[in-house]
Amino acid sequence: MFITRQSIDMRSLSLTLLAGSLMLASGCATLSGATGGSVPAALEKSPGKFVAYTCEDNKAFQLRYNPETRTLRYRGHSGGIELTRSGDGSYKDDSGEVSLMLGEGKSTTISKKGKVEYKGCGAA
């Protein structure tokens, strides 16, 4: 078998295309994880509607997911606030004092000023 300059160029082109495809695929996966896919099924199934959550210590609240703005509306005994997704994956209010970390099952938590106020929460 003879190796020609043309066959080497074709191998280089194939490897370059393969590497580019892998980088594009990993970039898409990272982007997908950063902008979506972390909203629990209970909220995704009911966009625009409040979903009741129950927690440990007989605490409860409601959440509404807006898929257009990718925000959550929290409604509890002390009132309601709009929460926006932050870089760490949690949802926070404008001041950053309230942080809600969504999870599947009974793993959603809400912290206020760094102290966990609601734990062991899940859609009722």
Per-residue pLDDT of 52-107, as tens digits, reads 999 999 999 999 999 999 999 999 988 999 999 999 999 999 999 999 999 888 99
Kindly report the pTM of this predicted structure: 0.67
Q: Where are the domains of the chain?
A: 1-35, 41-123
- The β-bridge partners of 111 are 99, 116
Whole-number Å distance between alpha carbons of 27 and 24: 5
Question: pLDDT averaged over the chain?
Answer: 79
pLDDT at 112: 94
Render pLDDT for 21-56 as a digit per residue (tens, 0 to 9): 434 333 333 333 333 446 888 898 888 999 999 999
CA distance 81 to 98: 9
Domain 41-123 CATH assignment equals 3.40.50: no
